[in-house]
Amino acid sequence: MDKYIVKGGSTLSGEVRISGSKNASLPILAGTILTGEDVILHNIPDLADIRMMLQLLEKLGKKTEWIAKNSVRITETDNSSIEAPYDIVRKMRASIAVMGPLLARRKQAKISFPGGCAIGPRPIDIHIRGMEALGTELVIQHGYIWAQAKELTGKRINLLGTHGPSVLATENVMMAAALAKGKTYIEGAAEEPEVAALGKFLNQMGAKITGLGTPIIEIEGVESLHGVEFTVIPDRIEAGTFIAAAGISGGKVHIKDVDIHHLDYPIEKFSEAGMEFELLSETELIAKAGKIRPVQIDTKPYPYFPTDMQAQIMAVVSLCEGISVIKENIFPDRFTHAAEMNRLGAEIQVDGMTAVIRGVDHLSGAAVMASDLRAGAGLVVSTLAARGLSEVLRIYHIDRGYECFEQKLQALGADIERAAQE
């Protein structure tokens, strides 16, 4: 187990290239089950979660091969396996995304209940509701979902949950419906760019999907899908993390290989917090620090402020003059990083799903612990500005979602190194 040792106070500057999107890559990898032909994927980030999904695909009869940096070929060797076992699924929630493809093509699925980050309960009832609507019979026993469908049939399905649309459920149902008989209409569909990326991938394989990026997605089922070569979109959350790193360090960072349109609302909020932006093209921008100002943020599904960027902007405004308020509307218990930021000298009070951040003059180095992926990223952002040495423990969470994180920060001038955690 490793940790980061960070000496705060460096002003970040230079260029950083954003990796491919983890949250787009995982369902796209699952979607390769929908065809028996070869699939080549580019811009796949080399992350712990990605390697776990590749391991799962191997269990499901796929041969996976890194053919170049960030490029993977998936070849089918056996189309009879239907089980996503506990030892893999417990480590990565996105494993549930293989259920739809397995049902669509192999007519059966045995899926362990998923694991992942500890950021409050994330039930899979919406996934089950969607699969049942398409004609799946499901039984839950011994920690597994046993599902079978002689034939999937298109239907009008509403996937809205308690906290809004579900990204993974939208993706799961969309993949199942791609090979279903007739038309499926997903109402209350997630509008995230990662969902649209999956839809574009499926369409290039021969699917007939329209309405991507809107609350209603229409899928006309087809007989089969073919192989494809596809490039994954940039990771907007990684880009937002480097924007936060520039802002808290007083720096100026040139961010490349990003889709600036995926960042419209975050840029608006970081601008309110005092940062300045220069949009150079569709794929690059410059983020420059300014005098940090307080903000009010409600996390909401795309196109609004993403819950996955909440910890990072909280780190920045912990140093503002005034009081900021962040309301978390997606996941309960997603303020675990607040107590750790307070160990660095921040003044954050949490009441339910609302955090009140009273800006302080400075942060001081301390040992802090990552409880989940984005909390870990937020803590690293905080330590970049903390006086003295800090340690960020349990960074295996961060490894799940950030490719070469410390190397990219080092290239920008951060004093950060990875070391073994005792």
Q: What residues form DSSP beta bridges with 41?
A: 72, 230
Displacement of CA 255 from its chain's centroid (Å): 19
- In order of 241, 287, 396, 404, the CA distances from 399 in angstroms are 14, 24, 5, 8
Identify residue 422 by its one-letter amino acid code: E
Residue 26 CA to residue 97 CA, distance in Å, equals 8
Q: Are 246 and 288 in contact (CB under 8 A)?
A: yes
Closest CA to 294 of 270, 265, 325, 324: 324
Known catalytic membership, residue 117 = yes
- Look up residue 415 and give its two tokens: 């004093």
DSSP result, 283-316: SEEEEE-------EEE--STTS--GGGHHHHHHH
Q: What residues form DSSP beta bridges with 72?
A: 41, 66
Cβ neighbours, 10 Å, residue 378: 28
If you compute the radius of gyration of the chain from its CA atoms, what whole number of angstroms results? 21
Q: Are 246 and 289 in contact (CB under 8 A)?
A: yes
Helices (H), 229-352: 236-249, 264-272, 310-317, 336-343
Residue 156 CA to residue 94 CA, distance in Å, equals 24
Residue 21 CA to residue 167 CA, distance in Å, equals 14
Q: Which of 28, 34, 111, 117 is catalytic?
A: 117
**Residues taking part in catalysis:** 117
